[in-house]
């Protein structure tokens, strides 16, 4: 009776899974940084991503009769996609434009924006149900949730859409409410 082959049926599939998880997560970050125009970091990430992929695919091709390797390859891809999205969400790099369309009074919302030093632009418009105000807000992705909660609070019946912004110049942007380590150290030394 032969003993169970732990390397081929457990360790190798786990290594393939982790490799795929890593290279797909890096691919997600590479796409994010590419869309933001970070030309210096994208090639480095791409190099590491492809090296991991080559090592993993070689192991799969060396073990074509091992279904566990195929399952690990597919599982690593799907879980790597999920992990990549989580990482991208945590990084929250870049800016977005929030367009709000409402026929309600926006005074309370704009007063809140002034309090947090968030810039906005208001334009008169015409909608299917009459005159409306279009409010354009460019936000850092780290402050997006705070701005959206203000919109829900002050204009709950409004329509809004969000889109990524590749580049911008100038502007007034609120800072996240949580204090950074740098700010805490600076205030502590005063």
Q: How confident is the model over 67-126, as pLDDT tens digits?
A: 999 999 999 999 999 999 999 888 888 889 999 999 999 999 999 999 999 999 999 999
For the segment 41-53, what is each residue's pLDDT rounded down to a tens digit? 999 999 999 999 9
Q: Domain range holding 143?
A: 95-165
Torsional class of 92: left (φ above 0), alpha (ψ -120 to 50), beta (otherwise)? left
Domain identity same for 86 and 108: no
Q: What are the counts of helices (DSSP H) followed by strands (DSSP E) for the chain? A: 7, 4
Q: How many domains does the chain have?
A: 2
Domain identity same for 58 and 121: no
Domain identity same for 100 and 81: no
Percent of the chain with pLDDT over 70: 87
Residues 139/163, Cβ–Cβ less than 8 Å: no
Q: Does the pTM exceed 0.85?
A: no
**Which helix (DSSP H) or strand (DSSP E) does residue 145 occupy?**
helix 144-154
């Amino acid at each position: 009776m032969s003993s169970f082959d732990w390397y081929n049926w457990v360790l190798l599939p786990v290594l393939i899974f982790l490799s795929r998880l890593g290279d797909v997560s890096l691919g997600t970050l590479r796409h994010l940084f590419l869309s933001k125009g970070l030309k210096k970091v994208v090639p480095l990430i791409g190099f590491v991503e492809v090296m991991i992929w080559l090592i993993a695919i070689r192991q799969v091709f060396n073990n074509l009769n091992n279904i566990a390797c195929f399952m690990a390859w597919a599982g690593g891809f799907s879980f790597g996609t999920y992990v990549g999205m989580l990482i991208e969400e945590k990084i929250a790099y870049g800016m977005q434009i929030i367009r709000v369309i409402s026929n309600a009074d926006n005074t309370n919302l704009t007063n809140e924006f002034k309090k947090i030093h968030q810039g906005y632009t208001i334009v008169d418009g015409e909608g299917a149900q009459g005159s409306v105000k279009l409010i354009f807000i460019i936000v850092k992705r780290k402050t997006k949730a705070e701005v959206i909660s203000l919109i829900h609070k002050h204009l709950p019946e409004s329509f809004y859409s969000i889109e990524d912004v590749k580049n911008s110049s100038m502007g007034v942007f609120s800072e996240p409410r949580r204090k950074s380590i740098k700010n805490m150290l600076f205030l502590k030394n005063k």
